Amino acid sequence: MKQPLKIKWSRSFTRTPSSLTVSKTKSGKYFVLILVKESINQLPVVNKTIGVDVGIKDLAICSDGIKFNNPRTTNKYAKKLAKASRQLAKKKKGSN
């Protein structure tokens, strides 16, 4: 590398980096991995317990009465999945 890299920051950080790794892919792109030490605040101890029932009709029901609805995303994509399965079944194994 004779010229500086253009960096596209995915996020900012406020701490000092502890290590930096530069890697190059087969396509010629460079990636920089920055390791930053972060202090983690200890959470307070809470003596509450809750039971969770995971089901099909409702995704989850908690013992305190909160219900989480099942989004049923598999029904939404069932036709698309069936078509993709048929196409895959017709292909020769390992042919892409």
Q: Which residue has the tokens 């980096």?
A: 17
Tokens linked to 37: 């030490």
| Residue 2 belongs to some domain of the structure | no
Encode pLDDT of 12-41 as tens digits. Answer: 878 888 898 989 999 988 888 888 888 889
Q: For residue range 57-83, what is the model confidence (pLDDT) as tens digits?
A: 888 999 999 999 888 777 788 889 999
For 18-77, where are the alpha helices, taking DSSP H only?
73-76
Numbers of helices and strands, H then E, in the chain: 2, 5
Residue 83 lies in a domain: yes
What is the Rg, in whole angstroms, of the alpha carbon atoms belonging to the chain?
Answer: 24
The token pair at 35 is 């390791």
Overall pTM > 0.85: no
46 assigned to some structural domain: no
What secondary structure letter does DSSP report for 93?
T
User: Does residue 17 lie within any of the structural domains?
Assistant: no
User: How many domains are there within the chain?
Assistant: 1
